[in-house]
Amino acid sequence: QVQLVESGGGLVQPGGSLRLSCAASGSIFSTNTVGWYRQAPGKQREPVATITRGGTPTYADSVKGRFTISRDNAKNTMYLQMNSLKPEDTAVYYCNAYIQTKEGIAGYWGQGTQVTVSS
């Protein structure tokens, strides 16, 4: 069974920084594309950033130049460095990963971590 465990959320002032981490554990053969999504109150979950196994990132226009996604394949861990945070970045952030196990490839979600940007 695969689990994704997130950490690093919290309360930060506008202009501040946070770093989210997401570690995958279980009977993992390989991890393919991974990404971060967020859901603000009353809104749908939206993609923030994704990164392929080879390291090619994509970003939502709203976070380009402020957020950086990265991964450590050896540790089955992904990261989201968030700089110049704005109040509109406030949301629950979820990690997502396409993981190959002996049963095949499937998408998995973390439990979510709250990020609040407020003065």
Our CA angle for 55, 9, 15, nearest 5°, is 85
Residue 39 backbone dihedrals phi, psi, to 5 degrees: -140, 115
The pLDDT tens digits of the residues spanning 13-35 come to: 999 999 999 999 998 888 899 99
Q: Please give the pLDDT value at position 14.
A: 98
The pLDDT tens digits of the residues spanning 51-77 come to: 999 999 999 999 999 999 999 999 999
**Residue at token pair 């998408």:** 107
C-alpha pair distances (Å), 83 with each of 17, 33, 67: 4, 23, 6
